[in-house]
């Protein structure tokens, strides 16, 4: 009987092995062809692969599909089509809430089964791309709407993350807001936005998530304060920023160039083995890469207190959980040279997604860990229920007259049912490795003075680019992919 039981178990393991192997594939792996074409500049092919990708077409991944398609159309300079996608993405984020079914799928299967609503910085980047699209279409009023919505998004981020030591405002988006207001001639609101961006840096030791306060931002604060006649603010910020206002006027206006470099980090999966503390089901710990014991706070309130004495939980001692982490794909932070009228200007970093993405995920590490524990506890209960339910059914349906044989058979059937459920649970244990991967690793920027009329702009370095800009006396904004 025991040999037969093991044979059945081995057969089931072999039967489910393809499922176990398939479950190891990350989001990045399953959309690799699309990203490869995108990175190689094969935009038509990338669009074809995007449309035929079954994973991205699933309703739970609708936001990722819209973000990728919006960015792809932006790169193809199909700005209207790009904003159709981004506007739909905006609406999707605003109107979609996690349902009970979403939460249930997360705990019974894994968080990859939930509707993806984006990282906080991904949602803010929608305003950046929509603004650039509107400006390229000469729809300045619509770009200003995006500037106003940046305030709402920053406020929502602050409400969501009350810990001031964590990512609760976005300096890059706030700086962009100032540029948009200035482009529209609203110098007062431009000053307020520039000042708010500078204050974010000042409150964090002049560096915010991998980005040192740009010198250009310092000048923008001082210049717009001076234009508004706020002499006290000019003096105060000259002191705070340890610089002075450089008064330079250009007949042709100026050009702000955003330079998007490299590719954003991708989410991968890391596994942890956790052990129960002596104080019972509420305490777990693991050992980090330095050999230090790290305690994981766990809220037992996820579960009914009636389960506290359940044997299924009493056996819950050591287990594996899957947690996401970011892996960098591009690390060249070197500034880009831009030549105009035989003079070379050097870009400054405006946003560092390599640092921002990694740190934001680390900030919620313990939350991810606690959710993973809750998921494993739920799965352990399903194994226990499957085992006991099968034992009961086996006894009821058995035609055996010998009670001992009936008991042994029922127990054997229950063990197999528990094993099957355990294999399924292990096969479905995955970290959520989804992210907006067509974002750059870094966004640099530079403000360049223009002469009246035609200006020849040359982007230096690898894959050099050249284009002309007409200096019309006003501020212009554009972006390039490096």
Confidence of residue 373 (pLDDT cuts 50, 70, 90): confident
pLDDT of residue 138: 96
Confidence of residue 393 (pLDDT cuts 50, 70, 90): confident
Alpha-helix residue ranges (DSSP H) falling in 23-97: 27-30, 32-39, 43-52, 62-75, 79-95
pLDDT surpasses 90 at 261? yes
Length of the chain in residues, anyone?
Answer: 482
pLDDT of residue 423: 67
Question: Assign residue 333 a region: left if phi > 0, alpha if psi is -120 to 50, beta otherwise?
Answer: alpha
Confidence of residue 51 (pLDDT cuts 50, 70, 90): very high
Alpha carbons 305 and 321: distance in angstroms, whole number = 23
- SS3 category, 142: helix
CA atoms 128, 130, 135, 139: torsion sign: negative
pLDDT surpasses 70 at 355? yes
Q: Which residue has the tokens 């019974």?
A: 108
Question: Assign residue 110 a region: left if phi > 0, alpha if psi is -120 to 50, beta otherwise?
Answer: beta
Question: Which of 89-103, 267-281, 289-303, 464-478 has the highest average model confidence (pLDDT)?
Answer: 464-478
pLDDT surpasses 50 at 141? yes
pLDDT surpasses 80 at 54? yes
Alpha carbons 200 and 3: distance in angstroms, whole number = 67
In our burial notation (b when 16+ CB lie closer than 10 A, e otherwise), range 317-333 reads eebebbbbbbebbbeee
pLDDT of residue 26: 78
- SS3 category, 170: coil
pLDDT of residue 318: 55
Strand order in the sheet with 337-340: 343-346, 337-340, 453-459, 465-471
Give the pair of three-digit tokens for residue 446. Answer: 């530079």
pLDDT surpasses 50 at 149? yes
pTM: 0.83
């Amino acid at each position: 009987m025991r040999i037969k039981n093991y044979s059945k178990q081995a057969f089931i393991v072999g039967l489910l092995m393809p499922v176990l192997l398939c479950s190891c594939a990350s989001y990045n792996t399953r959309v690799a062809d699309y990203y490869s074409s995108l990175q190689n500049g094969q935009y038509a092919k990338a669009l074809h692969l995007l449309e035929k990708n079954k994973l991205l077409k699933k309703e739970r991944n609708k936001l990722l599909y819209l973000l990728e398609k919006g960015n792809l159309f932006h790169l193809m300079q199909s700005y209207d089509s790009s904003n159709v996608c981004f506007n739909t993405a905006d609406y999707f984020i605003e109107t979609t809430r996690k349902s009970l079914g979403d939460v249930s799928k997360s705990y019974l299967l894994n968080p990859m089964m939930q509707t993806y609503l984006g990282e906080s910085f991904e949602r803010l980047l929608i305003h950046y791309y929509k603004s650039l699209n509107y400006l390229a279409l000469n729809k300045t009023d619509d770009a200003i709407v995006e500037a106003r919505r940046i305030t709402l998004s920053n406020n929502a981020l602050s409400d969501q993350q009350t810990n001031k030591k964590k990512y609760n405002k976005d300096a890059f988006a706030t700086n962009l807001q100032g540029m948009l207001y200035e482009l529209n001639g609203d110098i007062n609101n431009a000053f307020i936005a520039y000042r708010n961006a500078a204050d974010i840096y000042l409150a964090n030791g002049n560096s915010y998530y991998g980005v040192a306060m740009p010198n250009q931002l310092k000048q923008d604060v001082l210049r717009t304060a001076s234009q508004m006649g706020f002499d006290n603010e000019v003096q105060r910020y000259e002191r705070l920023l340890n610089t002075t206002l450089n008064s330079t006027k250009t007949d042709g206006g100026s050009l702000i160039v955003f330079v998007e470099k490299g590719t954003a980090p991708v989410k991968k999966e890391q596994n942890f083995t956790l052990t129960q503390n002596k104080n019972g089901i509420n305490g777990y710990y693991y050992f980090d890469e330095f050999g230090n014991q790290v305690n994981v706070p766990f809220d037992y309130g996820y579960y009914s207190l009636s389960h506290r004495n359940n044997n299924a939980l009493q056996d819950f001692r050591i287990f594996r959980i899957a947690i996401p982490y970011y892996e960098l794909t591009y690390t060249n932070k070197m500034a880009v040279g831009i030549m105009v009228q035989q003079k070379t200007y050097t870009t400054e970093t405006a946003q560092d997604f390599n640092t921002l993405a990694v740190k934001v995920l680390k900030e919620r590490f313990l939350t991810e860990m606690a959710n993973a524990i809750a998921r494993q506890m739920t799965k352990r209960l399903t194994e226990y229920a499957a085992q006991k339910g099968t034992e009961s059914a086996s006894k009821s349906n058995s035609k055996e007259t010998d009670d001992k044989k009936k008991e042994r058979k029922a127990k054997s059937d229950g063990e197999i049912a528990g094993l099957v459920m355990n294999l399924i649970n292990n096969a479905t244990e995955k970290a959520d490795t989804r992210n907006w991967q067509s974002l750059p690793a870094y966004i640099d920027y530079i403000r360049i003075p223009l002469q009246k009329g035609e200006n020849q702009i040359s982007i230096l370095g690898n894959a050099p680019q050249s284009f002309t800009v007409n200096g019309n006396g006003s501020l212009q904004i554009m972006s390039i992919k490096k």
